[in-house]
Structure 1
Amino acid sequence: MDLEKNPDACVRFDRHAVYLGTPGGRQDCPARLRGRTEALLIQPATAAGSAVTENRTARTYQAAADRIVVTAAYGDDRGSIQRILRSAGLPVATAQAEQAAAAPVPADATSFRGEGFDACTAPSQSAMNAWRDASDYGAIGIYIGGLNRACAQPNLTAAWVRTQYANGWRFFPLYVGRQPSADGGSCGGGCSSITDPVPQGTAAADDAAKQAAALGLGKGSVIYNDLEHYAPGGTVTTRVLAYIDAYTERLHQLGYRSGAYGSVSSLITDLVANAQNITPPDVIHFARWNYESTTTDSAIPASLWPKHQRIHQYAGDTTETHGGVQISIDRNRLDVD
């Protein structure tokens, strides 16, 4: 895909593709994509020299060479991506760890009460400015990492986060880790599933905290583990609860707060039924597309997550235009303190 000829193309890593050029400022992405496979984004750069970093948890290489920078995603075929990078003379064997933490924005960055939206890829600065001036939204969901994060994030940097915060935006960071099943629910067959929940939930928390810190979202921030819809019961429920329990416990050890995103009819059902049996997430982000902008729901007792600990995703896969800028989004009502 030639991004110069197709500037609105969505750069996505849930299908085999090679993207050449700089992603456009207004990528035409669906509101929600999940999954990961082998794909390449090759962009022009000015720096010389070769360097490679790898995030094994998120299954992504970042490589720089003479006049190019490469983002290489992989699903189950890491070897093919390594061969491609080696064929370009990139030192895969000596890949380093990813970037260090950035200076954190203030601690209220993930606190907000009001209307918010989430989009598959972080919008450009001009789009954020237009929506800030022309819409009622004040918070944005950003997909900070995870091996099932499908959309590329060319705009999502620590500088971008600082600028949005200074402009009045607040955030609900989403981490798309392992899913309840590899072939079920809305995540689809390209997702990596929960198979060994405790170490996988712990590893997800370690990586989520690292990715948040690299964006300037410091300790005390809420990081929401995105778990797509599934049919609750039996082994899948047991694995999901153990995964979220381990994720929450580890985030607490790292100084972060735990959030969990899921459907009222799957994850939230399981969390409500087992709130006394696990360490529950500090905040829930529940999906019920009933077009009611409220954080109360008949499936969630008032005694659970009662103190500004809820987000309701009340509409999804919708397209809105504000200030002349169109984005595909999900709508959310936040009450997070």
Structure 2
Amino acid sequence: MHRTRHMHRRKLVVGLVLFLTALTALPAPAWAEPVRHGPGPSGDAHAGPLSGLGLPDLDLSDAVFDEPATAAAQAGASDDPKSLLPALSGPRTFRGLAFDTCTAPSLETMRRWRSSKYGAVGVYYGGRARACPHQPWLSHRWMRGVEQLGWRVLPVYVGSQSPCVGAGPKKGYRIGRHPWSQGVREARDAVRRAAAIGIRAGSPLYLDMEAYRYRQTKCARTTLSFVRGWDRQVRGEGYVPGFYSSADSGVRHMRAAARAGVRDLPSVIWFARWHTRPRLAREPVLRRSAWSTQRRIHQYAGNVKERHGGRSLVIDRNLVHAPVARIG
């Protein structure tokens, strides 16, 4: 009797194995096909660690991100602006690679560039000194569109320039006799234009101040007054004031102002130093404790041509660990 039961169980097991083997030979139904995320660098389909979020994998092998300053370094830093700057109260931040280009690309181009290593884009949305004032694509609809595609946005405002600006094309847009009030007026314009294209309060607005001769005392005083007026007004209207300039001019000037205890300085620094590796923590002009965590962008290359998804753009390249726009 026990042997009969054993033989019966054995037949059942063999039958089940044969049945499962037959199932595996059948073609998989359509719903069982693996999801593919497009060709990777080698041309093979791949799904990277960010694919579930609709974001590309970022190749940051050469990037040097900011590192938190040690307590000892902070204690001994005379140029640490943290005591002079309001805390960044929960801004939306981005850490990775970004590009900026003179004219905001079409949404179709932005869609195709999702195959690139970049995850954020700088847009020149306002300011009388913009090199490309005509922006046919830039609108509230465009901002929502790039947001839906997974991009993060760095809004750049190119307002009046330093009286001792070096670039010839910018000399026609120099700061006037009343720099503080002019900075306040242009800050109001920056906020108004930002809101018009859906950039909400809590977002950064980056003031673009091209390289200038900051060692000229009168010029430096005028420029700093303009920047401080702009910063205070932007901050007062609920946005985060950022500052873009050459590392060896405007950024060096802001660092000197911070060391001197000047208030109403930018909350975020975007420094241009080309022909070098992308790095945030090792900029010679800035101590690690100055504009440290989530407050830095390094523009490490400019005017380079890249092609992704069949579309070419002339861009600047940036390494970012800083606030980005909130789009509403």
Alignment TM class, shorter chain as reference: 0.5 to 0.7
Deviation at 1:150, TM superposition (A): 2.7
Unaligned 5+ runs, structure 1: 1-106
Cα distance change, pair 189–311 in 1 and its aligned pair in 2 (3 A): closer
Q: Give deviations 1:155-213, integer Å, cap 9, x for gaps.
A: 0000100011111100110001000127x412525531012210111011100001110
**Residue 169 of structure 2 is aligned to residue 194 of structure 1:** no
Deviation for aligned residue 1:290: 2.8
Q: What is the CA–CA distance in structure 2 between the aligned matches of 1:304 and 1:176, rounded to whole Å?
A: 24
Alignment partner, residue 16 of structure 2:
none
Counterpart for residue 144 of structure 1: 125
Contact (CA 8 Å) 2:161, 2:170: kept in 1 or not?
no
- 1:204-232 CA distances to partner (integer Å, 9 max, x unpaired)? 11000011101111100000000001111
Match of 2:233 among 238, 250, 253: 250
Unaligned runs of 5+ in 2: 1-89, 324-328
- What is the aligned partner in structure 2 of residue 185 from structure 1? 166
Q: 1:290 to 1:189 in 2, by over 3 A?
A: closer
Which sits farther off after the overlay, 170-179 or 145-154?
A: 145-154
Separation in structure 2 between the aligned mates of residue 123 and residue 279 of structure 1, nearest angstrom: 34
Superposition misfits of 4+ residues, deviation over 6 angstroms: none
- For residues 302 and 211 of structure 1, the distance between their equivalents in structure 2, rounded to whole angstroms, comes to 33
**One-letter code aligned to 1:231:** R
What is the RMSD of the two structures over their aligned residues, measured on CA atoms? 1.5
Between 264-273 and 286-295, the greater mean CA deviation after superposition? 286-295
Tell me, in whole angstroms, the C-alpha distance in 2 between the residues paired with 1:169 and 1:208.
22
1:139-288 maps to which residues of 2 (within 5 A)?
139-151=120-132, 152-181=134-163, 184-186=165-167, 188=169, 191-195=172-176, 196-233=178-215, 234-275=217-258, 276-288=261-273
Shift of residue 235, structure 1, vs aligned partner? 1.2
Q: Secondary structure at the match of 1:171?
A: strand
| Counterpart-to-counterpart distance in 2, 1:123 and 1:147 | 20
Give the whole-Å Cα distance in 2 for the aligned partners of 1:191 and 1:145. Answer: 17
Question: Whole-Å Cα distance in 2 between the matches of residues 271 and 112 of structure 1?
Answer: 23
Q: CA deviation at 1:270?
A: 0.6
Alpha-carbon shift at residue 252 of structure 1 (Å) = 1.2
Q: Secondary structure at the match of 1:180?
A: coil
Query: Which shifted more, 190-199 or 166-175?
Result: 190-199
Q: Which has the higher helix share?
A: 2
Counterpart residue type for residue 292 of structure 1: R
SS at match of 1:159: helix
What residue number does 1:330 align with? 316
Identity, % of aligned positions: 39
1 CA distance for matches of 2:149 and 2:279?
Answer: 25
The number of residue pairs the alignment matches comes to: 228
* TM-score normalised over the length of structure 2: 0.67
Higher radius of gyration, 1 or 2: 2
Partner of 1:126: 108
Structure number with the bigger relative contact order (C-alpha 8 A, sep ≥ 6) is 2
Structure 1 or 2: more strand by fraction: 1
